[in-house]
Amino acid sequence: MGIVDLEGGTFSYWDDGEQPTPPPRSTRLEPVAQFCRRRRLTLKQLHAEIQDATGRTLQIRELGTADDLLAEIERRRPTVKNPFEYASLQYRWAMIIGMGKLQDLSNSDYPDIKPTSISLFLTGRS
């Protein structure tokens, strides 16, 4: 979704970075979806965990407010050849304004799922 660029050394987000990272809305890998529903970090928390795990400093790029993001979506709309080119922006906008929040995570439905931290995942110790 254009948030983490390890090669470029940047971590980009719209708004204030306090929104929880978006879980997948659908996936063929149900265990992945279960894990993501269980452990949600804000973008700022995700940034810190990625830096800790990789030992790299990722420069934060604040891209603008939710209104700025909506304006960017509208700016791209007339020239886009494939709506998926900016679908992630639409999803991020919905998450920022609260439209994409999951109400019932049903975590108790998955007692056998043992989430791991981003740090452990990125270092291969999970």
- Is residue 107 assigned to a domain? no
- 3 state DSSP class of 84: helix
What is the CATH classification number for the domain harbouring 56? 3.90.25.10
- What distance in Å separates the CA atoms of residue 39 and residue 90, rounded to the nearest whole number? 23
- Tokens linked to 56: 């790299």
111 occurs within a structural domain? no
What are the 10-residue block averages of pLDDT along the chain, 126 residues in total?
A: 87 87 50 55 88 92 96 92 83 84 71 76 72
pLDDT of residue 34: 53
Longest dimension (CA), the chain: 47
Q: Does 49 fall in a domain?
A: yes
Q: Which domain holds residue 21?
A: 4-101
Q: What is the pLDDT of residue 100?
A: 66
Query: Residue 25's pLDDT is what?
Result: 45
Is residue 38 included in any domain, yes or no? yes
Structural domain total, the chain: 1
